[in-house]
Structures are given as C-alpha cells and as structure tokens.
Structure 1
Amino acid sequence: MQRPIRFSHCDPAGIVYFPVYFDMFNGAVEDWFTQGLDIDYATMILQRRLGLPIVHAECDFVIPSRMGDTLTLGVLLERLGRSSLQLRINGEHEGQVRLSGSLTVVTTSLDDFAAVPIPDDIREAMKRYQAGCES
C-alpha cells in the first residue's frame, strides 16, 4: 500500500511523528483485509461484528520520513494462532526500509469483546496469503 507523507503527519522537526505510523499500520491492516484477503473490512466490523484490536505493538524506526515521501507499506503474516495473529509491517521509500513494525491482534466479538476463534473463511484466506509470503 502506498502512503504519501503529508504535512499533518509531521512534527516541528519536519519528520513523521512516530504515533502517526501506528495509525498508518491500522489502515494497512484494513486495506490488507479488503485488498489482500478479499474480505471487506467494513462488513467484518459492522455486519459480522468481528474486531481485531491490537494487543501488542512495537516498531523499529530506521530512517526518518519527511513530507513529500511516499511510503510503501507491506504486510507479512508471521504467525496465525487460534484467535490471534502476528503481522509484520515494513515501510519502505525508494528501496530503503524506513520502519518495521510488529502487531499482534486478536479476533474478538464486538458484542462482548471476548476473544473468538478466527472464522474458517478468514483463516483460509490468511493461510493462502501466508503461503504467498513464504514463497
């Protein structure tokens, strides 16, 4: 996914303010579901009442990004559990890794906020994607 760095993403030093990256990560996960897994994220949230809250996040900031740069965010599925998954999201600009984040998310019911097993259709789509990542 392409993410242009905008004025609103930057701090007074002119570089991306680090919490903005986590918002970009969340957008990348939404796009990954809709475009990479062919599962409409809005339908999953609003109709199926399934959420994917982040329960752990970390990031290595390698090179600062500035307004006018365009980051390419790639999503790798590193681990697929019963109700959780671990994603690696790398951000690159012109072939240079700018940041690398790791997110652990848990599939939850939005009715009672309890963890639930990943539904079979979503699990199968993730397995196909993961196989593509490994090759």
Structure 2
Amino acid sequence: MTRTFEMPVRIRFAHCDPAGIVYFPQYLVMTNALVEDWFDDALGIEYAHMISVRRVGLPIVKLNCEFARPSRLGETVTLALSVDSVGQRSIRIEIVCQCNGEVRFRSRQVLVTTSLDDGRSIDIPGDIARAIEQFAPGTSRALQEESDT
C-alpha cells in the first residue's frame, strides 16, 4: 500500500478570488509547497539545499488537474501526496485536496529531475531515489520513456 504525505492548509484571503473561493492557480502554489514539505519532512532531503547548493531542480513537465468543488476562505483543506511511480529521471505523483471528506481538487503530475546549471534532465540522484522508493514501496524505476522527457 502506498503511503501518503498529508498537510493541512488554511484557505487564506490571498488564495481567493473576489467571490471568496480559491482562485484555481493557487492550488498549484499549494501543491508546490506540499512537494517542498514532503522532501523536507517525509523524505529527509532539504529542498532548499537541493535547489541552491546541489543545483537539482524538480519542475513539473506534465500536469492534469480536476476541480471538483470550490474551497472557501477560512476553510482548512488537507492536501495528500502519493507516489504513483518512479522512473530513471521522473516521478509521477498524485495530489488530492479534501475538506471534510469531500474531494475539492485532484492533480496528477510528472516531475523531472534537472540540472539547474544547464536545464537538462538528469537521473534522479541516488539518495533522493532511495528516499522516494522507501516512501512508496513497490514503485519501480521503469517509467515509460515519454515521461522522462
């Protein structure tokens, strides 16, 4: 069974449009923060160090989003991240946003490790791959080649 990493998020004024509901691009800001916290808190890999010192980036190269119900100012939602699979250079994740058991937003993403010095994709560094594989047992590093580009 795949483990999930969960993070509660209070919906703030800055997340919302004039109607008081989450403006859809803000979900991507929230999911990026979730990935950073997942690295720091669950994987034991300091995200800031990975970016600024190791110069390893993790951009989204494929994104699918579904918006089921609006989230509103003042609510607390829970974001849950799970790993679908791990490839040589990419990670497939799913993020589900819920409030009181109701799905509000779902995102499937493919993240690719890149060199921040030249912008090219690189193999997932060993320590990061091991941390991710421990988090999501049963995943394989055999994603289809189309995900690695």
Distance in structure 1 (CA, Å) of the matches to 2:30 and 2:107: 11
Structure 2 residue aligned with 1:83, among 82, 89, 103?
89
Partner Cα distance (1:19, 1:131) in 2: 31
Aligned to 1:31: 37
Do residues 5 (structure 1) and 23 (structure 2) align? no
Whole-Å separation in 1 of the counterparts to 2:81 and 2:43: 11
The reply on whether 1:41 has 2:51 as its aligned counterpart is no
User: Identity of counterpart residues, as a percentage?
Assistant: 48
Residue 131 of structure 2: aligned partner: 125
How big is the shift at 1:14? Answer: 1.6
Match of 1:63 in 2: 69
Cα separation, 1, equivalents of 2:86 and 2:99? 28
Determine the C-alpha separation between the residues in 1 that align with 2:69 and 2:35.
22
CA distance in 2, matches of 1:23, 1:66: 16
TM-score (normalizing by structure 1):
0.94
Please tell me the root mean square deviation across aligned C-alpha atoms, in Å. 1.3
Runs of 4+ in structure 1 deviating by more than 3 angstroms, as ranges, are none
Return the alpha-carbon distance in structure 2 between the equivalents of residues 5 and 132 of structure 1: 34
TM-score (norm 2): 0.86
- Where 2:137 maps in the other structure, the secondary structure is helix
Give the gaps of 5 or more residues in structure 2.
Answer: 1-6, 140-149
SS in 1 for 2:132: helix
Residue 16 of structure 1, aligned match among 16, 19, 22: 22
- Structure 1 unpaired stretches of 5+: none
- 2:145 corresponds to which residue? none
Question: Who is 1:92 aligned against?
Answer: 98
How far residue 58 of structure 1 moved from its aligned partner, in angstroms, is 1.5
- Alignment deviations for residues 33-61 of structure 1 (CA, whole Å, 9 cap, x no partner): 00111111011111111000111112111
Q: Amino acid of the residue matched to residue 64 of structure 1? A: P
Superposed displacement of residue 132, structure 1 = 8.5
d(CA) in 2 for partners of 1:77, 1:89:
9
